[in-house]
Amino acid sequence: MAKCMAAIQQGEGKNGRNIPAMTFIPDVASFLKQHDMKIEVLFQNLATMREKYRFMSKRLQDTRVAIMAKVPENERTLKTVQHLMKKAADDEEVKASFPLADSVYVDATVSPDQGTVYLWLGANVLLEYVLERYTCC
């Protein structure tokens, strides 16, 4: 079984996501003869690899969907930071409501002259950025 897997995979060839490369088999009969294996073993190993590739494809697709779902929130965050920068340039305070829990908000006055912004990324991660650096990209 391991001998067959080594024969159908292209050695240690992998892409950037560590997905193994496969060997193209132009002539199945000569491939079977060259590697001294039965067709059933080859099909079983190819089916195993196909399932692995399907799993990897599904995972990549799920990751892409999750990242794309975050884009609107990141765009709103960028607009908020730009608004804070404008208010800091005008030396004005900003009144805002922050969510504490579901349907519970607190009113606050934000002084944007600090020059930094804190971004909640979730999972107990809070990042501090200098305003100018946050908007550079």
**Residue 63: its pLDDT value, please?**
92
For residue 14, give its domain range.
Answer: 2-63
| Cα–Cα distance for residue pair 61/65, rounded to 1 Å | 6
The Cα-based distances of 132 to 20, 51, 73, 112 in angstroms read 42, 47, 20, 12
Residue among 54, 65, 114 at smallest CA distance from 87 = 114
Domain end, chosen from 21, 42, 63, is at 63
**Residue 2: its pLDDT value, please?**
62
Domain end, chosen from 38, 63, 88, is at 63
Q: Kindly state whether residues 47 and 96 are assigned to the same domain.
A: no
Hunting for tokens 């990549």 — which residue is that? 60
Contact 45, 4 (CB under 8 A): yes
pLDDT tens by residue, the chain, 137 residues = 566 666 676 656 666 677 777 888 889 899 889 888 899 988 998 898 899 889 989 999 999 999 999 899 888 888 888 888 888 888 888 888 888 888 898 898 887 777 787 877 778 888 887 777 666 55
Burial of 45 (0-12, 13-18, 19+ CB in 10 A): buried
CATH number at residue 103: 1.10.287.370
Domain count, the chain: 2
**Residue 64: its pLDDT value, please?**
93
**Residue 4: its pLDDT value, please?**
66
